Structure 1
Amino acid sequence: MPVIRAKTLQDLFKRYRRPGDIVFAWVFLAFSLFLLLNLDAQTATVKGTKWAAQPSFWPTVAVYTMVVFGALHLISSFVSPKLDGRWQEVGFWLRSFEFATWFMAYVILVPQLGYLPSTVLFTIVLTIRLGYPLHPFLGAAVALAVTVVVIFKSLLQVKVPGGQVYEYLPDALRSFMLTYF
């Protein structure tokens, strides 16, 4: 029979800090305050509508809640013991922006090269970037790219802009590439 442990209220609210906690608390509070300062410009109120039925009601509740809990998080980070490794943790977080940059480059390339060539290039470059050897994984990367393009363009009929490079193709091939790839 399994042992059931009863937790006290103190156990339930025990704070487990991480090295970058205070940096996250500052960034979250700053972002919350930014949203609060821009709340009036981004939401609307309708005259003659009840307070809780206003279009701005739930965004206002959410932003004020973010500010309150962001401030509480910052205060609790100040009173908690300091942990070493804060900047290593922040560096780890910042490394994730590399992949957002890769994706933005892909988004910029699609209207230039077309959906199929950009997707094939993107999968090959990311395969290399992730450290996989090209010999066994090149075919898998290209097959994945072609599969994704066929599913999205042909089966799901997602409208993706045609590449400018398609303008140089003969008319029949250009039409086929714009429709299916």
Structure 2
Amino acid sequence: MSRVKTLQSFFKRYRRPGDIVFAWIVLIFSVFLLSQIFEQTAYQSRGKLVAQPRFWPAISLGTMSVFAAFHLLGSAFSERIEGRWREVWHWIKSVEYAGWFIAYAASVPYAGYLPTTIIFAILLTLRSGYHNAKMISAAIVSSFIVVVVFKTLLKVNLPAGRIYEVLPDGLRQIMLAYF
């Protein structure tokens, strides 16, 4: 007995909730990138076609656009599955943690590595739904250990916080060097 019974079963498409939204997003994004190819790349009068700076990006973006259009057609003609907007909302909620990271990275130069790490560890612990003192204490201890390992043991150069400038001289030097 063969693994692939028919060509049709080999290419059978399994639709997922949110599939058509994803197809539209990818198609719009790829067509937008393809529309920018002449502004973002240059043409050199000398040289072969395949050596042109915009040749391979145009091939890849054109292929991406064609396959995105096929994906959209396949999604449009497939049976509808409930839960599309729940799935899209799940995607949006997942992006929230990228926002937390951006806020963390933007806060470190102002508040310093140690205070920012502890504050964000506590905030993310609370955001994740752990509201008891044991979990918050674990977040504080683990964030302190992370700071000690990265800054003191591994000697990773991280921006010093502007808040450290208001500390007394001896404490400021310790915080700048180790935390």
Q: Which moved more, 1:19-28 or 1:89-98?
A: 89-98
How far off its partner does 1:64 sit? 1.4
Q: 1:115 maps to what in 2?
A: 113
Q: Deviations over 1:60-93 (max 9, x none)?
A: 2321121111111111111111222221221121
* Residue 172 of structure 2 is aligned to residue 174 of structure 1: yes
Of 3, 6, 13, which residue of structure 2 is paired with 1:6? 3
Partner SS state of residue 96, structure 1 = helix
Structure 1: runs of 5+ lacking an equivalent: none
Q: Compared with structure 1, are the counterparts of its residues 16 and 131 closer, same or farther at alpha carbon in structure 2 (3 Å cutoff)?
A: same
Contact 1:29 1:67 in 2 (8 A): yes
Q: 1:59 to 1:149 in 2, by over 3 A?
A: farther
Deviates more, 1:75-84 or 1:40-49: 40-49
Cα distance, 1:166–1:19 mapped onto 2, change above 3 Å = same
Amino acid at match of 2:133: H
Q: CA RMSD in A?
A: 2.1
Q: Could you list the runs of 5+ residues in structure 2 that have no partner in the other structure?
A: none
Q: Distance in 1 between matches of 2:86 and 2:173?
A: 51
Give yes or no for the alignment of 1:58 onto 2:56.
Answer: yes
Q: Give the TM-score normalised by the residue count of structure 1.
A: 0.86
Q: Percent identity?
A: 52
Match of 1:33 in 2: 31
Aligned residues: 178
In structure 2, C-alpha distance between the alignment counterparts of 1:145 and 1:56, rounded to whole Å: 46
Please say if residues 166 and 177 of structure 1, whose CA atoms lie closer than 8 Å, have aligned partners that are also in contact: yes
